[in-house]
Amino acid sequence: MSSVSVNFLGFDLKNPIATGAGTFGYGDELKDLIDVSRLGAVVVKGTSFDPWPGNNGPRIWETPAGMLNAIGLQNAGLEVFIKDKLPKIRQLGTRVIVSIFDKSAQNYVKIAQALDQEPGIDALELNLSCPNLEAGGATFCATPDLMAEVIRKVKQITKLPLIAKLSPNVTDIVNVAQTAVSAGADGLTLINTLLGMAIDVKTRRPRLKNNVGGLSGPAIHPVAVACVWKVRKALPDVPIIGIGGVHDVETAIEMILAGANLVGIGTANFINPNVCIEIIDGLEKYCAENGVKNISELVGKVQEW
């Protein structure tokens, strides 16, 4: 009999399907539409230490096979998250990964310290694609030494597993991934959005008030698969969440074959709130029809030419 249950970072999941941070709210919002407890894990919307206002609109633009967004990581901050959001998250009936971000290493540490004391959290995802305002605005991923500093400092003060979410907007994502793991990351999320821009040719203005935004959706899927594949070859034993343009069972299996232990579903949730459940059902069917005893057997098993 086939199984899609997996072990990730030492804890058991019902299946390898996780939501992408920022595309599924805090999980509670969709509980009347789908059975959230069927998901392998929910990666909840990113939380910063202080309230984060986000960017002015327009903040979203649909592109061929994807979308650009410049939401700006809007959230109510750590205090509201712990008081108002976390109690509901604990009732979801699935594994919970909390995404955190901020503008300085010090604030990452403050957030992690607070969340380390809270029950019902299985891991922290460090969004390292944010601008480091203490270093001129460059993203943490683009400055590996600063990224490593964040990971090391957070690692020192929490018992929770740390997953480093990496940006593809770097020269060598394998080098960035190796640096993150050497600094103490227990796992990796690959990839965040690609930098993109759209322009209204009539007004000659960018479609987004922020001028540029993050490109997501099926358009970036081949890039994400390649990044996962490259990092898996370099780091054969590191747990990886593969995310980027997954929208059906075939694209999910692609990601697993490339080397992902878990598969993140992001933009597709906006189009079809039931997509995660459909993919889970599809994985179960695929394993049964192809003689796969456990879905984990497929991780990194692409047959290269």
CATH of the domain at 76: 3.20.20.70
Catalytic residue among 130, 227, 276, 287, which? 130
Residue 273 lies in a domain: yes
User: What pLDDT was estimated at residue 131?
Assistant: 62
Residue 192: closest CA among 237, 233, 141: 141
Phi, psi of 32 (to 5 degrees): -85, -10
User: What pLDDT was estimated at residue 136?
Assistant: 55
Residues in the chain: 305
Contacts of residue 216, Cβ cutoff 8 Å, sequence gap at least 6: 66, 67, 69, 193, 194, 244, 245, 266, 267
Sign of CA dihedral 100, 102, 105, 109: negative
User: What pLDDT was estimated at residue 132?
Assistant: 58
Residue 291 lies in a domain: yes
Q: How many CB atoms lie within 10 A of CB 286?
A: 18
- 130 in active site: yes
| Exposure of 11 in the CB half-sphere (CA atoms within 13 A) | 15
User: What pLDDT was estimated at residue 139?
Assistant: 81
What's the number of domains the chain is made of? 1
Q: Which stretches in the chain have pLDDT values below 70?
A: 131-138
The Cα 219–Cα 216 span in angstroms is: 7
Residue 1 lies in a domain: no
Residue 303 lies in a domain: no
User: What pLDDT was estimated at residue 135?
Assistant: 55
User: What pLDDT was estimated at residue 183?
Assistant: 98
Residue 247 lies in a domain: yes
| Exposure of 172 in the CB half-sphere (CA atoms within 13 A) | 8
Residue 157 lies in a domain: yes
Residue 89 lies in a domain: yes
How large is the angle between the packed helices 144-157 and 105-116, nearest 10 degrees? 30
pTM, whole model, 2 decimals?
0.97
Residue 304 lies in a domain: no
The Cα 142–Cα 129 span in angstroms is: 8
CB 246 within 8 A of CB 255: yes
- Residue ranges making up the domain that contains 135: 6-298
User: What pLDDT was estimated at residue 29?
Assistant: 94
